[in-house]
Amino acid sequence: MHRTTWVEFNSKALRHNAAMVRRLAPESAILAMVKANGYGHGADWVADQLRGIVDGFAVARHSEALTLRAAQPNSRILLLGTEVDDGLLQDCATQKLDIVIHELGAAKLLANTILPQSITVWLKLNTGMNRLGMCNKDFCEAHSVLSGSPNVAAIHHMTHFSDAETDSPAATDRQFQLLHSLSTSLGEFPVSMANSAAIIRHPQTHLDWVRPGIMLYGDDPTTHLAGVDSLLPAMTFKAKVLAVREVEKGEGVGYNQRWQASAKTRIATVAAGYADGYPRQAPDGTPVLVNGELARLAGRVSMDLLTVDVSHIPSVNIGDIVTLWGDSKLSAAEVGRHCNTISYELFTRITARVDRVYL
């Protein structure tokens, strides 16, 4: 098929990044975050590539868990915080899904239902994110309601950090202490806290299970990994040049002529727009690579197209390849910084019409 707009997924990069998690947290089991379709990389593909390298997978929606289970009959799959009802619990039991219990009502429901098989539960403590998770009192009550229940195969304890990527460790230390002391007061249970940033910057939080997401896909939210420790981009977003033209000084480009030529300029029109997942909010000056050379956006991103100033790259021609992100010279994080967003959002917004190429 004729291809103008595509994402390449690199299994070597994915496995390199997983190996980096293993190196940084050698004593911990790894629960790979493959929610949101593997951060846009394809949950089935990611799980397939990482099977045998990591120790389980986590998703955020019931539908994601069922799809992944069909592809991964024997892997541990954790369903993160969701609404819990009897139907969901039955499904978790028959599909062998671990489940996060983040509120006391769900713990009581689990204790009082009749299941064909017991479930492993991950009790979530709210330590400061104030999103999901129980207060100390409810956590202890949930723990006591579920310990000894025939419906519960094992209890894990978890929390999620709000600030692990920042330069100030105070919030993370506080969150760590809150779960650590509560968990040890209840006995010896597997504990999980660390997301990517904590894996990289807060080794004391690694404990029994780490939960890397974004670092598997090649972005270091702390920007601390460098040199041989660098992560590799698992996704590269590419599109072709569809047209090249010269505009005269004083002419505008694109909708509302937001970008104005201050001198005669060569403009390349590229087959990627917001309907492909390139952010519409990208300002003039956002970097792209044209045939590997840095060039900058000139004009508003439209539904199917974007425009780039290529005056300094005279060889540019129709059919040439533009890398929008996912290269050692241009990370998704850098594009995100220009667009007031993060790589997580860029990755998960690639739309269905973009071709997927698995390397």
Ligand X SMILES: Cc1ncc(COP(=O)(O)O)c(C=O)c1O
Which residue in 24, 21, 23 sits closest to 32, CA to CA?
Answer: 21
255 catalytic, yes or no? yes
Residue 70 beta carbon to ligand X: minimum distance, rounded to whole angstroms: 23
Tell me the closest approach of the beta carbon of residue 31 to ligand X, in angstroms: 8
Report the alpha-carbon distance of residue 287 to residue 298 in Å, rounded. Answer: 10
Q: What angle do CA 281, 285, 288 make, to 5 degrees?
A: 90
* CB closer to ligand X, 274 vs 347: 347
Q: Considering the complex, what minimum distance in angstroms separates the CB of residue 253 from ligand X?
A: 36
- Smallest distance, ligand X to C-beta of residue 195, A: 3
Residue number with CB closer to ligand X (211 or 300): 211
Residues that bind ligand X (CB under 6 A): 33, 80, 160, 195-197, 211-215, 221
Cβ partners under 8 Å of residue 32, min gap 6: 18, 46, 47, 50, 54, 56, 57, 58, 212, 213, 216
Q: At what angle do helices 104-112 and 136-146 cross, to 10 degrees?
A: 10
Q: Which is nearer to ligand X, 213 or 287 (CB)?
A: 213
Q: Which residue is nearest to ligand X (CB)?
A: 213
Nearer to ligand X, 221 or 299 (CB): 221
Q: Which of 12, 96, 124, 255 is catalytic?
A: 255
What angle do the packed helices 86-95 and 104-112 form, to 10 degrees? 70
CA pair distance 198, 163, nearest whole angstrom: 9
Three-state secondary structure call for residue 24: helix
Closest CA to 359 of 45, 112, 9: 9
For the question of residue 124 being annotated catalytic, the response is no
Active-site residues, by number, are 35, 255
